[in-house]
Amino acid sequence: MGVGRGQNVTWAAWAVLGLAIVVEAGPAQEAGGDIGARLLADPTVRAALAAVERNERQILDEQVRLCEIPAPPFKEQARAEAFRRAFEALGLENVRVDAEGNVLGERPGTSRGPHLVFSAHLDTVFPEGTDVRVRREGTLLRGPGIGDDCRGLAVVLGVIRAMRDAGVQTPGPITFVGTVGEEGLGDLRGVKRLFNETLKGRVDRFVSVDGTGWGITHIAVGSRRYRVTFKGPGGHSYGAFGLVNPIHALGRAVGAIADIEVPASPKTTFNVGRIGGGTSVNSIAFEAWMEIDMRSADPSALRAVDARIQQAIDRALAAENARWRKGTLTVDRQLVGERPAGRTPEEAPVVQAVVSVTRALRLPVSLDEGSTDSNIPMSLGIPAVTIDGGGRGSGAHSLGETFDATDSWKGTQRALLVAIALAQK
Ligand SMILES: [Zn+2]
Q: Rounded to whole angstroms, what are the CA distances from 416 to 15, 104, 166, 385, 410?
A: 22, 18, 12, 14, 10
**Distance from the alpha carbon of residue 210 to the mean position of ligand 1, in angstroms:** 5
User: What was the pLDDT predicted at 373?
Assistant: 98
Q: What value does the mean pLDDT take over residues 78-86?
A: 98
Q: Indicate whether 308 and 331 sit together in one domain.
A: yes
Q: Is the pLDDT of residue 229 over 80?
A: yes
**Distance from the alpha carbon of residue 283 to the mean position of ligand 1, in angstroms:** 43
Q: Is the pLDDT of residue 103 over 70?
A: yes
**Tens digits of per-residue pLDDT, 203-215?**
999 999 999 999 9
CATH number at residue 327: 3.30.70.360
Q: Rounded to whole angstroms, what are the CA distances from 251 to 61, 62, 170, 248?
A: 51, 50, 59, 5
**Tens digits of per-residue pLDDT, 294-318?**
999 998 999 999 999 999 999 999 9
Residue 6 in any domain: the answer is no
Domain boundary among the residues 295, 315, 339 is at: 339
Q: Indicate whether 165 and 214 sit together in one domain.
A: yes
**Distance from the alpha carbon of residue 173 to the mean position of ligand 1, in angstroms:** 25
The Cα–Cα gap between 37 and 251 comes to 60
**Distance from the alpha carbon of residue 33 to the mean position of ligand 1, in angstroms:** 34
**Distance from the alpha carbon of residue 154 to the mean position of ligand 1, in angstroms:** 13
Q: Indicate whether 325 and 348 sit together in one domain.
A: no
**Distance from the alpha carbon of residue 149 to the mean position of ligand 1, in angstroms:** 5
Domain boundary among the residues 305, 323, 339 is at: 339
Q: Is the pLDDT of residue 9 over 60?
A: no
Q: Indicate whether 140 and 200 sit together in one domain.
A: yes
Residue 178 in any domain: the answer is yes
Q: Is the pLDDT of residue 23 over 80?
A: no
**Tens digits of per-residue pLDDT, 213-222?**
999 999 999 9
**Distance from the alpha carbon of residue 209 to the mean position of ligand 1, in angstroms:** 8
User: What was the pLDDT predicted at 33?
Assistant: 40
**Distance from the alpha carbon of residue 403 to the mean position of ligand 1, in angstroms:** 14
**Distance from the alpha carbon of residue 388 to the mean position of ligand 1, in angstroms:** 10
User: What was the pLDDT predicted at 325?
Assistant: 83
Q: Is the pLDDT of residue 37 over 90?
A: yes
Residue 378 in any domain: the answer is yes
**Distance from the alpha carbon of residue 23 to the mean position of ligand 1, in angstroms:** 37
Residue 256 in any domain: the answer is yes
**Distance from the alpha carbon of residue 16 to the mean position of ligand 1, in angstroms:** 33
Q: What value does the mean pLDDT take over residues 383-400?
A: 95
Q: How many domains does the chain have?
A: 2
**Distance from the alpha carbon of residue 396 to the mean position of ligand 1, in angstroms:** 8
Per-chain residues with Cβ under 5 A from ion ligand 1: 148-149, 210
CATH number at residue 351: 3.40.630.10
Domain boundary among the residues 322, 339, 356 is at: 339
**Distance from the alpha carbon of residue 121 to the mean position of ligand 1, in angstroms:** 7
Q: Indicate whether 173 and 313 sit together in one domain.
A: no
**Distance from the alpha carbon of residue 211 to the mean position of ligand 1, in angstroms:** 6
Residue 16 in any domain: the answer is no
Q: Indicate whether 362 and 325 sit together in one domain.
A: no
Residue 309 in any domain: the answer is yes
Residue 23 in any domain: the answer is no
Q: Indicate whether 216 and 243 sit together in one domain.
A: no
Q: Indicate whether 215 and 364 sit together in one domain.
A: yes
**Distance from the alpha carbon of residue 169 to the mean position of ligand 1, in angstroms:** 29
Q: Indicate whether 39 and 152 sit together in one domain.
A: yes
User: What was the pLDDT predicted at 22?
Assistant: 37
Q: Indicate whether 363 and 323 sit together in one domain.
A: no
**Distance from the alpha carbon of residue 424 to the mean position of ligand 1, in angstroms:** 27
Q: Indicate whether 271 and 408 sit together in one domain.
A: no
| Domain interval for residue 265 | 222-339
**Tens digits of per-residue pLDDT, 337-371?**
999 999 999 999 999 999 999 999 999 999 999 99
Model pTM greater than 0.75? yes
Q: Indicate whether 91 and 182 sit together in one domain.
A: yes
